[in-house]
Amino acid sequence: MINKLIPDVIFKTRVRDELSEEVNPFKWELKSTSDYFEGKKNILFSLPGAFTPTCSTYQLPDFEALHEDFSKHGIEDIFCISVNDAFVMNKWGDSQKINKVKLIPDGSGEFTRRMGMLIAKDNLGFGLRSWRYAAIIDNKKIINWFEEPGISDNCKDDPYGETSPQNILSSIS
């Protein structure tokens, strides 16, 4: 995956409309891969799903806690992507009190599929989801790749370690 360009896709996001007086002050906003990654050095990590145990207990909150440490190494933004819709990703971010890590909804799984990381998790009732991976991306090009071992459909385990923020930080320190 190193030196590969990430796929160009459009993400359907929901953002707060500060001018709205509606009960639900959010509007749809389309964001491209370039909007997030062009001209920047970022981290992208993907996980099986919002509100799931490992993702909510360790991975997302630890990336949030280590955000400043990554910034010291030239990382501009940290993005978390999951095959979940914008409503779920926004609610998950709120429930986790996430302010620094930016959440990207890949509701249709298009980005994840084109990354070659879309797997079935029917054994858990999830349907199609992402295998756990992370990348350091510089101007849309993958410069470092982290992937949990054993990628497969309906994997009995949920390996976690290679994609932990601590492991990624140690690789760039």
Residues assigned a catalytic role: 55
Euclidean distance between CA atoms 57 and 61, whole angstroms:
7
Euclidean distance between CA atoms 89 and 74, whole angstroms:
26
Compute the Cα dihedral for 130, 133, 134, 139 and give only its sign. negative
Report yes or no: 21 and 157 within 8 Å, Cβ to Cβ.
no
